[in-house]
A and B are shown apart, each in its own frame.
Chain A
Amino acid sequence: MEFAVNSVLLTMMAVISIAIIRMQNLFGVVILAGIYSFLMASVFMVLDAVDVGMTEASVGAGISTVLFLSVLGLVKVRESKSIHTPLLPLFVAIVTGGVLIYGTWTLPEFGSALSPANAHVGALYLERSMPDMKVPNVVTSVLASYRGFDTFGEVVVVFTAGVAVLLLLRRGSGRAKAMRRNMVARGLIPDNQLTDEERAQKEAKDAS
């Protein structure tokens, strides 16, 4: 049964990947990518990784789709024609794919009790979560307590991403505008990067 469900899901994902490659309309591509994420979330559900499935559904299918759509509001909806041949990217993709498939040969069998995930600290976490902190969901106790430092690093990564986006995309505050005006007045910005308004001001100043 599990094999049948997995086969259907993975086949659909392969079909969607090919459709994404062939499609020129970026709006359709974004929606298909969202559907791909939902299928991936279903695969995680079949693998009993409910927490990961939930994250995939909310981040991959939810937030990513919305962010891609808001970017589409700023760019053209149709994909522009590629200016180079696809041979080099195809070669890189085939080599990378080959290496990854080669890597799967040495992976332990799915669910094997002897796999490193089960043989090392995993069993200890499962055993000690309840007596240590009475938290039945071991995923939470590992993420927030046993591996709290890693999660702290993840939160800092999210924070860094947020700060970077705010710096790049936030609409100019009063201070940034004043700084820009100052730079224009001192002639620090090249002529071809001035806005029409700034150029007019500069020409008026030069004329006087």
Chain B
Amino acid sequence: MRLDVVLRVVSKLLLPFMLMFAAYVQLHGEYGPGGGFQAGVIAGAGIILYGIMFGLPAAQSIMPPKLVEFLVPLGVLIFAGTGVISFFYAMNFLDYSALGPVTGLSEQYAQILGIIVVEIGVLVTVASTMVAIFYGFAGRGQD
């Protein structure tokens, strides 16, 4: 469509900044507002914006549905796996102190590492679920 050219160019320009901002919100979550959930939604919104502007096949070529379906449970497994590690050191579920003996870090840094890993799990599940829901609705209209 001819009239869409402004929207198309702008959304293409915005996409890398959106994903970059998602990474910032994710990694800066310990110091400022944000965290895995918000970053996941922003990253998912980036893919969805691309899908709206360039069509579902274009979005699915950068984020294949098979990969999305793989990532939805992967995030939960990352979160749960971090918790299960503490069982091997006779600690409670999700006690990040157990990461200390595993990695050789001090107690404080083990806590930070636990938070970072767990937030990555949140990011993966939230972002892929948002994209999966969008694919579900958008793919429905094409039948």
- CB <8 Å contact, B136 and A137: no
Chain A residues with CB below 8 A from B126, complex form: 155, 158
Residues of B within 8 A of A (CB): 25, 29-38, 41-42, 44-45, 48, 52, 65, 69, 72-73, 75-76, 79-80, 83, 93-94, 96, 108, 111-112, 114-115, 118-119, 121-122, 125-126, 128-130, 132-141, 143
Q: Which of A53, A158, A166 contacts B136 (CB 8 A)?
A: A166
Chain A residues with CB below 8 A from B31, complex form: 136-137
Interface of A is mostly: helix
Q: Is A144 an interface residue (CB 8 A)?
A: yes
List residues 87-141 of chain A with CB under 8 A from any CB of chain B.
Answer: 132-137, 139-141
Q: Total number of A-B contacts with CB less than 8 angstroms?
A: 147
What would be 17 A-B contacts, judged by CB atoms less than 8 Å apart?
Answer: A51-B35, A58-B38, A58-B45, A59-B41, A66-B45, A70-B134, A144-B119, A145-B96, A148-B118, A152-B94, A155-B79, A155-B122, A156-B76, A159-B75, A162-B125, A163-B72, A165-B129
Q: Which of A140, A156, A169, A170 contacts B29 (CB 8 A)?
A: A140
Q: Which of A62, A149, A162 contacts B45 (CB 8 A)?
A: A62
Chain B residues with CB below 8 A from A59, complex form: 41
Task: Give the residue among B122, B134, B136 with the most A Cβ atoms within 10 A.
Answer: B136
Chain A residues with CB below 8 A from B65, complex form: 170
Separation of A74 and B48 alpha carbons in the complex (Å)? 17
Separation of A163 and B114 alpha carbons in the complex (Å)? 26
Q: Which of B114, B134, B137 contacts A145 (CB 8 A)?
A: B114
Given contacts A62-B41, A148-B83, contact A162 B129 (CB under 8 A): yes
Residue of A nearest to B93 (CB): A149
Q: How far is the CB of B122 from chain A (nearest CB, A)?
A: 6
